[in-house]
Amino acid sequence: MILSQFNVEDKHKAYREKVQRYAEEEACMWENFRHGLFFGSKKFVNRIKEKYLSEEPHAEIPQQKLVKKDCDSQIMVDQAARILGCDLNKYRSSFRIADSDKDNRDLLIYLLWQTGLHTNQAIGQIFGLSYSAVSQRVKKFRTKIQNDKKARKKLNKIKSQIKM
- Whether residues 46 and 124 share a domain: the answer is no
- Whether residues 110 and 136 share a domain: the answer is yes
Return the amino acid letter for 39: F
78 touches 87 (CB < 8 A): no
Region of 151 (left: φ > 0; alpha: ψ -120 to 50; beta: rest) is alpha
- Whether residues 79 and 141 share a domain: the answer is yes
- Segments forming the whole domain that contains residue 46: 10-67
**Does 164 score more than 60 pLDDT?**
no
Domain boundary among 67, 89, 110: 67
- Whether residues 155 and 111 share a domain: the answer is yes
Nearest to 64, CA basis, from 99, 38, 39:
38
pLDDT value, residue 68: 57
CA 6 to chain centre: 30
pLDDT value, residue 91: 73
pLDDT value, residue 37: 57
Cα distance between residue 17 and residue 3, in whole Å: 12
For the ranges 90-94, 114-118, 134-138, 153-157, the maximum mean pLDDT occurs at 134-138
Count of structural domains within the chain: 2
- Whether residues 138 and 97 share a domain: the answer is yes
- Which range among 25-29, 82-86, 112-116, 117-121 shows the weakest confidence by mean pLDDT? 25-29
Helix, strand, or coil (residue 127): helix
pLDDT value, residue 66: 59
Domain boundary among 26, 41, 67: 67
More confident site: 30 or 152:
152
> Is 4 a domain residue?
no
More confident site: 58 or 4:
4
- Whether residues 102 and 43 share a domain: the answer is no
- Whether residues 88 and 121 share a domain: the answer is yes
Helix, strand, or coil (residue 111): helix
pLDDT value, residue 140: 92
Give the C-alpha distances (Å, rounded to integers) separating 29 from 11, 26, 34, 151, 152.
20, 9, 11, 49, 48
